[in-house]
Amino acid sequence: MPTASLTLPLKVLLFCCLLVSALAFLAPMLWMLSTSVKPLNETMTLPPVWIPSEIQWRNYPDAIAAMGHFWRYAGNSLFLAIMTVIGTVTSSALAAYGFSRVEWKGRDKVFVILLATMMIPFPVVMVPLYGLFKSLGWIGTFKPLWAPAFLAGAFNVFLLRQFFLTLPKDMAEAARIDGCNELQIFWHIILPLSKPALLVVAIFQFMATWNDFLGPLIYLTEQKDFTLALGLQSFQSQQGGTAWHQLMAASTLVVLPVIVLFFLTQRTFIEGIAATGSKN
């Protein structure tokens, strides 16, 4: 039902429901921000204290100092995020173009098989992948965390394929008449028109890599190679008792880049999501 056709009481009710839902989703974030500037003795009090009696901004530099290698962890996370974004966007766009704009025998059947791989959870393939990477001598390096991104993921291929199907074929046909091959059409016509969808894939992959904990836990062996997600867990385990105010301060610093990135690209991100959901 369109919002414009609702009566005033229903609009107020809908607004209240959305407000309550938003607050429910924001509550953990607000608690993290609140705890990050609390004194330690107020972090676990009952009833909970949302507004600290004294705002302690020093919790942030103290948390960075306590982690020891915070900026090295941040550099490792950023390196992996950039590499996986490059690999995912490049390989997924090429695969999606092949599935959407190039006619070849068995294309739809192969695409169905590709989509079926989305049903396989990571723990099922975790051990075989570990054995493969070990035989390649990659354990203890960053390669297992970024190299697979250059092989395209089923979800990202599906997302980009749906967007490519919405693009008009007239320009591509005109380019073929002018002598352009498929790669030239892909590079000069499809990619410039697909920036919103490519940005959606890039943001999804950046968030997944930045927040990934299981992958670094399995493949990384040296503490100097830890990512921020793994560094947070290490910081918590090395404390005799959890310093919640410092842990929340460190967690805030870890989450902040993703939040800033989303707000900077919010409009294009939403446009890309909306566009990939339609098909001409």
- Write the pLDDT tens digit of every residue in 81-129: 999 999 999 999 999 999 988 888 989 899 999 999 989 888 889 999 9
* Pairwise CA distance, residues 178 & 243, whole Å: 66
SS3 content of the chain, % helix, strand, coil (to 5): 75, 0, 25
Instruction: Let me know: does 96 contact 160? Beta carbons within 8 Å.
Output: yes
* Pairwise CA distance, residues 109 & 115, whole Å: 10
Mean per-residue pLDDT of the chain: 86
CA dist list (Å): 217 to 64, 230, 261:
21, 7, 25
Identify the residue whose tokens are 């009566």: 7
Name residues whose C-beta falls within 8 Å of residue 151's C-beta, 6 or more positions apart in sequence: 87, 91
CA dist list (Å): 160 to 12, 96, 103, 140, 191:
38, 6, 17, 33, 11
Neighbours of 22 (CB within 10 A): 10
- How far does Cα 194 stand from its chain's mean position? 19
Torsion angle, CA of 196/200/201/205, rounded to 10 degrees?
A: 150
Domains of the chain are: 3-61 (no CATH), 68-276 (1.10.3720.10)
Instruction: Examine residue 47 and say whether the peptide bond preceding it is cis (omega within 30 degrees of 0).
Output: yes
Write the pLDDT tens digit of every residue in 36-81.
888 878 777 778 778 888 888 888 888 888 888 889 999 999 999 9
pTM of the predicted protein model: 0.84
Confidence of residue 280 (pLDDT cuts 50, 70, 90): very low
* Pairwise CA distance, residues 173 & 179, whole Å: 10
Residue 62, judged by CB atoms within 10 A of its CB (0-12, 13-18, 19+), counts as: middle
Identify the residue whose tokens are 């591509």: 172
* Pairwise CA distance, residues 67 & 250, whole Å: 9
pLDDT value at position 93? 94
Q: Is the pLDDT of residue 181 over 90?
A: no
Instruction: Let me know: does 90 contact 157? Beta carbons within 8 Å.
Output: no
Query: Angle 139-143-145 (CA atoms, 0-180°, nearest 5)?
Result: 95
Tokens describing residue 265: 């690209």
Q: Is the pLDDT of residue 1 over 80?
A: no
Residue 113, judged by CB atoms within 10 A of its CB (0-12, 13-18, 19+), counts as: exposed
Q: Is the pLDDT of residue 27 over 90?
A: no
Write the pLDDT tens digit of every residue in 207-225.
999 999 999 999 998 888 9
pLDDT value at position 146? 94
